[in-house]
A and B are shown apart, each in its own frame.
Chain A
Amino acid sequence: MFMVAASLAAVVALAPLLWVLVVLVMKGAPSLDLDFFTKLPKPLGVEGGGMANAVVGSLMVVGLGSAIALPLGVLGGVYTREYAGVWGARAVRLVSDVLAGVPSIVLGVFVWAVVVVAMRRFSALAGGLALALVMLPTVQRSTDEVLALVPQEVREGALALGIPKWKAVLWVVVPSAAGGILSGALLAVARAAGETAPLLLTALGNRFWNLRPDRPVATLPVMIFNYAISPYEDWHRQAWAAALVLVAGVLLLTLGARWVLRRKYGGS
């Protein structure tokens, strides 16, 4: 009886998730064509066109966010594990967990109030900052956890050679955990790449090309949202194509993270 109920629960849990994936491939794959990657969105009412600008825009915003959050997050994680005392580390972890728990839309409101209001315009930079806030606590936490796996003997051995602690940390401890740190970073980037809510209030969107960080830029998640809630059949089709591309990108990053980790530590 219990076995049946629990097995049933597992099936019920997987069903909607599989449903999403199946629909995504069924609707997305036929809608995906070369135009999607090479053309700009067409004006209202004209069929066809693509989302080349949103693909590039997504890369740009996620790239900006990663450039800000990854170094800071890794440094913060190193501090937590190698330098902060027991209670200091606990405090830093708690705070970083709290930040990770702030709804991403609230992070968007924050960046809007600071960056968009000051610059008087929506921008790719603001979008990148919002995504950086999403990534930062995740990267910090995963770096911290991966460093915990470095054997204590490695640290002692390095210090026994007489090098100062900062050199030991920078050239011995951190490199020996590099694979795990990279894996955590990739996961954080994957999570941020699908974020939509904070981008609505910061990067806004754009129907044209933009490569300037101080101008509004189109991104895939925001395009999916805008096209999905529109009343046009052709836009719905493109929304599915965009969703397929986005999920493929996110899954690729996630699998990449797993692959790095497996090569480093073996097993799963």
Chain B
Amino acid sequence: MGLEAGLRLLRRRKGRGPESVFRAGLSLSGFLPLLILLGIVAVLWRASGPARGAFGLRFFWGRVWDPVHEVFGALPFVYGTIVTSVLAVLFGVPVALGSALFVVEIAPRRVRSLLTPVLDLLAGVPSVVYGLWGMFYLVPFLSSRVEPLLRRAFGFSPLFSCTGAQFNYLAGGVILSVMILPTVASICREVFLAVPTELKEGAMALGATRWDVVRMVTFPVARGGVIGAIFLGLARALGETMAVTMVVGNRPEISACLFAPGYTAAAALANEFTEAAGDVHLASLVYLALALMFVTFLVNLIARLLVWKVTGGEERGLR
């Protein structure tokens, strides 16, 4: 309180001098991210003009992407982005949840203090390195070991019945799941740690087993935060570029089969941008970037609000 009163005294004298200069400089850099965001939207909006003019919102329903005849429809990218991201969440989230529970509820203190920094360090491995590993190890492994099994077990469904190719949706989904895992796991860990110990102890005192505690106390209390973590993982998967580009096959086609080669929006930007010939082609790619930004923005916003509600907001870091 003393500080506030002192500040009020100071404020009375402000208006000129170094204080106001300092303050102005600081607030400028404080609001720099806002200026940048607005700048991005404005620039992308303008640069995508020719594509928006030519195709409008039908752009996202068009199934043909043909730079030679200047026909651009983004549905293959939209579809591929959604399929690989959903696969990433399906594969990644259960494992992330399990390992977060392991760290919080089961692991001895020593293991916990070892596992956490290791996961954090591994989260720092660049995406292009995951891609390199994906091309030469994950893809051969999936196509020689995992895909035959899936075919034999679920071959009746169109999801698993095509001849396909080595580089495909499945590979994209799996590599994304590996990449979002540390993010989702570390947020889930924070959220689980925020569940009050008294609640857990109370349940245990009533005779609940560890699993009962997780099922009836931890999960219900942490539900919002866990959903938030999933959305953050989803947002990361949607925008992730290099690793997917290197394993997804890069063919702008739509197929229900997971073994078929596909394409994602981010991969299309990485591959085609510097080689785009016509103005409409470039504008279409920028339009795709704008849409990608808009979608990740929405997913991120939902995620942050959910996580903030559980962990109590600003004091806990989210990255």
Contacts and interface: CB of A to CB of B under 8 A. Distances in A.
Answer whether A and B are interacting partners: yes
Interface of A: 1-3, 5-10, 12-14, 16-17, 19-21, 23-24, 27, 72-73, 75-76, 78-80, 82-84, 89-90, 92-110, 112-114, 122, 133, 136-138, 140-142, 145, 148, 152, 155-156, 159-160, 164-166, 169-170, 190-191, 193-197, 200-201, 204, 221, 224-225, 228-229, 236, 239-240, 243, 246-247, 250-251, 254-255, 258, 268
B66 to A, nearest CB: 21
Nearest 7 CB-CB pairings of A with B: A9-B98, A194-B126, A103-B239, A79-B30, A2-B211, A101-B300, A79-B26
A254 B124 contact: yes
Of the candidates B34, B40, B131, the one having the most CB atoms from chain A within 10 angstroms of its own CB is: B40
B126 A247 contact: yes
Contacts of B117: 258, 268
Secondary structure type dominating chain B contacts: helix
Contact of B289 (A9, A109, A236, A268): A109
Given A113-B43, A136-B32, A194-B128, A97 B99 contact: no
Nearest to A244: B129
A200 B246 CA distance: 14
Given A105-B289, A258-B117, A142 B317 contact: yes
Interface residues of B, number: 97
B30 A80 contact: yes
B25 A103 contact: no
Interface string B20-37: 001101110111111011
Nearest to B23: A83
A229 B37 CA distance: 33
Contact of B124 (A27, A92, A156, A191): A191
Given A9-B102, A99-B36, A156-B3, A89 B126 contact: no
27 contacts: A3-B210, A6-B105, A6-B106, A7-B102, A12-B98, A14-B118, A14-B119, A20-B122, A23-B133, A75-B26, A76-B26, A79-B30, A84-B27, A92-B33, A93-B314, A94-B304, A99-B36, A103-B238, A106-B44, A109-B286, A196-B128, A197-B270, A224-B128, A240-B132, A243-B129, A250-B124, A251-B124
B30 A20 contact: no
A7 B245 CA distance: 32
Interface stretch (B52-60, B70-78, B291-299): B291-299
B6 interface: yes
Contacts of A24: 129, 133
Interface in B113-127: 113, 115, 117-122, 124-127
Contact of A2 (B99, B137, B210, B270): B210
A9 B94 contact: yes
B152 to A, nearest CB: 22
Given A75-B26, A99-B36, A170-B22, A3 B106 contact: yes
Contacts of A122: 274
A262 B19 CA distance: 34
A251 B121 contact: yes
A76 B30 CA distance: 4
Contacts of A8: 98
Contacts of A247: 125-126, 129
A3 B313 CA distance: 31
Nearest to B9: A159
Nearest to A8: B98
A78 B26 contact: yes
B47 interface: yes
Contact of A92 (B31, B121, B135): B31
A148 B40 contact: no
